[in-house]
Structure 1
Amino acid sequence: MNATTSAIKTPFRPLAALRAVQALRTNPDDTRQIFMIFQALGGRSSARMFARFRNSLNGQRFLSEERSLLKVLTDRNSLAELPAGSVGRAYLAFMESENLSAEGLVEASEGRAENAPPQEQLFLARMRDAHDLTHILTGYGRDPLGELCLLAFMNRHTRNPGQLLIIAMSWLQVPKSARPAIREAYRNGAKARWLVDQDYEALLARPLNEVRSDLGIRPPLLYESMQS
């Protein structure tokens, strides 16, 4: 990697993370700051994750095929033709109800991997594009508690310290009655299969409940109890 800069091995930049935290407090909807925190505090977490991904059978296949999850997730007509109750239909309903687009995450993370080697770019793009799918698979919504629970769940898969920082800075703002849901999410994440190298394209047509069972994703009972 002589001529390119790796986006995987990032220096630890606490001051940049602090600035991003302050900006996020000013505007909680500024998703760019979340990516900045992840990158500033990621250290070797992404490098370790990429190494594991590259050494897995699925990861090797995705890299060799130069898979683009984004192309699949932006084809809403194809998603709408999937069976009722499938992962893909649930994803489409989620994106429409929340007025989201897969392209929105691309804009929020713009510049993150532009100088990285091609395989690293593909890996980081796949991680980015899978974010809203993980909402569907884990059962956590986009409300503040749901986002924190998803961060806690996924931290067991990514090991990014930036996720823990966001949880920590939000902890005192979360009602005490809701905090057990975050701890439950962390435990559920530890019990699930590694989500980073999953064949999401193949999962889209399958029943959501079946996929959750196969991946060992337990119901977010405490989170759901807070939604009623």
Structure 2
Amino acid sequence: MAKLPPYPGTTGRRDWKTAFAAIRKLLANGDDTTQVFRIMRALNVGNAPMNYAKLLGAHEGGRIAYERVELAQRLSDPAFVAGFAPGTVGAAYRDWLATTGYSADGLVEVSKLEPDSNEIQHPYAWFGRRVRDSHDLWHVLTGYKADESMGEAALVAFSYAQVGGLGWAFIGTAAALKSIKATGSRLFAKAVWEGYRHGKKAKWVSGEDYLTLLDEPLEAARARLNIQEPVAYKHAQAVLGPKMASYMSQRREEAGVAPAATPPIDGERIAA
């Protein structure tokens, strides 16, 4: 297979200084989502060409790349989301939106807190938006909650196993290590490790036609994609309790930090 060229304007070098500065700010304030995108740009060198090439080699991947559907536009259309039959992935996503108060266009806006190269007209940028805009669908498919730090960290680990990129690994590892000190337990970290293992075992979800997947029964989709039950994650939830599972939000409340103006998005609630 021919090697694809690098992302336009990139140097090919990882910026560890920026990444470490950003992770310190992120762990101090999980709502500072801007730091997530700094980490991704600093560390995910070479990730875009690798994943775009993988998509082209996937079943139906060439057609998906040719059509270049913008998921955020479709998932932000109330009529589109309302049309899914009960029991489908789309219906579960609709329920998830109602429960969390999040939205597809809300995640896009968060990603624009800082100028983002993913908005340029380029196939790699489109794939990056595709990963970003499918993030909440992955919450639905995996069962990891979006309104708690542990669920986000576990999905970050799942995402690293699926699409690579050291930025994902850096954030997931930092959250897991902080959790040990914050909770006095390794259960949070074990849930994150389980997320990585499940991501490795699952089919490559980024190669899926999401518009077709949304109409598929949820449990059938999970079985077909080999997305396993998050046993360690649910055990940690039960033992640690909701507040400890969401220790970042708890610590912000204890410190008197005001909530974000946008929906409550922890730092690990991230995009490509």
**Whole-Å Cα distance in 2 between the matches of residues 197 and 6 of structure 1?**
23
How well do the aligned residues superpose, as a CA RMSD in angstroms? 2.1
Corresponding residue number in structure 2 for 1:192: 202
Corresponding residue number in structure 2 for 1:218: 228
**Cα drift, residue 60 of structure 1:** 1.4
- 1:158 aligned onto 2:158: no
SS at match of 1:30: coil
SS at match of 1:35: helix
User: 5 Å matches for 1:6-45?
Assistant: 6=8, 11-45=13-47
User: 5 Å matches for 1:77-88?
Assistant: 77-88=79-90
User: 5 Å matches for 1:14-163?
Assistant: 14-110=16-112, 111-113=115-117, 116-142=120-146, 143-163=148-168
- 1:170 aligned onto 2:175: yes
SS at match of 1:172: helix
Corresponding residue number in structure 1 for 2:256: none
**Whole-Å Cα distance in 2 between the matches of residues 7 and 156 of structure 1?**
26
**Cα drift, residue 81 of structure 1:** 2.6
**Cα drift, residue 9 of structure 1:** 7.2
Structure 1: unaligned runs, 5 residues or longer: none
Mapped contact 2:7–2:49 kept (Cα < 8 A): no
Structure 2: unaligned runs, 5 residues or longer: 1-5, 180-184, 239-272
Give 2:124's aligned amino acid.
E
SS at match of 2:117: coil
**Whole-Å Cα distance in 2 between the matches of residues 173 and 103 of structure 1?**
30
SS at match of 1:121: helix
**Whole-Å Cα distance in 2 between the matches of residues 189 and 7 of structure 1?**
30
How many corresponding residue pairs?
225
**Whole-Å Cα distance in 2 between the matches of residues 189 and 197 of structure 1?**
14
**Cα drift, residue 134 of structure 1:** 0.6
Give 1:204's aligned amino acid.
L
Mapped contact 1:140–1:149 kept (Cα < 8 A): yes
Is 62-71 or 202-211 further displaced after alignment?
62-71
Mapped contact 1:6–1:116 kept (Cα < 8 A): no
Give 1:161's aligned amino acid.
L
**Cα drift, residue 78 of structure 1:** 2.5
Mapped contact 1:135–1:141 kept (Cα < 8 A): yes
Give 1:139's aligned amino acid.
G
**Cα drift, residue 6 of structure 1:** 1.8
**Whole-Å Cα distance in 2 between the matches of residues 193 and 117 of structure 1?**
28
Q: Percent identity?
A: 32
**Whole-Å Cα distance in 1 between the matches of residues 60 and 38 of structure 2?**
28
